[in-house]
Amino acid sequence: MQALITGGAGFIGSHLAESLLADGAGVTVVDNLSTGYLKNVQHLLDHPRFRMVVETVTNEIVMDRLVAESDVVFHLAAAVGVELIVQDPVRVIETNVLGTRAVLKAAARYRRRVLLASTSEIYGKSEAIPFSEEADRVLGPTTKSRWCYSTSKAVDEFLALAYHQQIGLPVVICRFFNTVGPRQTGQYGMVVPRFVKQALREEPITVYGDGLQTRCFCDVRDTVRAVRTLAARTDINGEVFNVGATYEVSIVKLAECILEAVQRRGPGAQHRGKDRIQFISYAEAYGKGFEDMRRRAPDIRKINTLTGWQPEIPLKDTIEYILEDHLHGKAFTD
């Protein structure tokens, strides 16, 4: 099998590339390195079945060639992160919508299967928790850029499903819920790498809001396994699947867990504790009028029923996995 991974130098994409190569597949990664990093795939560059293409997915000529040479496309390229959404909404919208259009257009020409990465942001500020794939979406006004990412990914989904409905393009949509693990950067507001960096540097752990908002954090190894499980099924085209852990943890509890994990690792531990958690208002972090969701949790019965997949790695093990990566000098210093 020859796989194409858009955004393959990113966090999830690089782990997916490793997994596919380990099982004998050929892998081509296309990434413009705007939010992905060459360091993520540096160790793969000499692999005989790996190829790296530095280009944007909005380049239709390049995408046409790369899709033609592939058997399956994992479309992970996207502009992500709350800070990026607030600071550069033009980039978010254009990258997500135009990039997906280029991928689907080429896939339709060559009848290639596409697994499209979407997001739990799709559900907006709905309170119908846990979110099922058919749940209604509840969003804020267009005057708040906070909602442009959710909207752009919804357009991606609509477009992918339209290609499936009109011409039978084999498409599967995966809605990711807070995937975490090594190589994830805190540059655009990702909470776990930000907390880990602050804890290791003995800086205050900055929690936005009151910290009682809850999320479900899924280990990237579980996420990759879910994506590959869905890719192996040919009877689920045109379907949407939630992919995530179901254990909810408050953000302040997450900060405490990371501090405790760092505390177990050596000198200076006596200076690390709950008193190092610093609360910052959303207005201070993101600007006036920012909205966040109190809870976000997936209903994963659909993927579990059809494939048997469920997350297996507990959050405490994922935190240790991330710390090992940082302490061995492999992680970023952003």
Which residue numbers are catalytic? 149
Which two tokens mark 115?
């697994």
Q: How many CB atoms lie within 10 A of CB 172?
A: 21
177 CA to centre of own chain: 7
Q: Give the C-alpha separation, 68 to 331, whole Å.
A: 34
61 CA to centre of own chain: 26
Residues forming beta bridges with residue 116, ordered by sequence position: 75, 173
Q: How many CB atoms lie within 10 A of CB 275?
A: 9
CA proximity to 45, closest of 6, 99, 8: 8
CA dihedral 123, 129, 135, 139 (to 10 degrees): -30
Instruction: Say which residues have a Cβ less than 8 Å from residue 22's Cβ, sequence separation at least 6.
Output: none
CA dihedral 97, 101, 103, 106 (to 10 degrees): -170
Strands 2-6 and 26-31: parallel
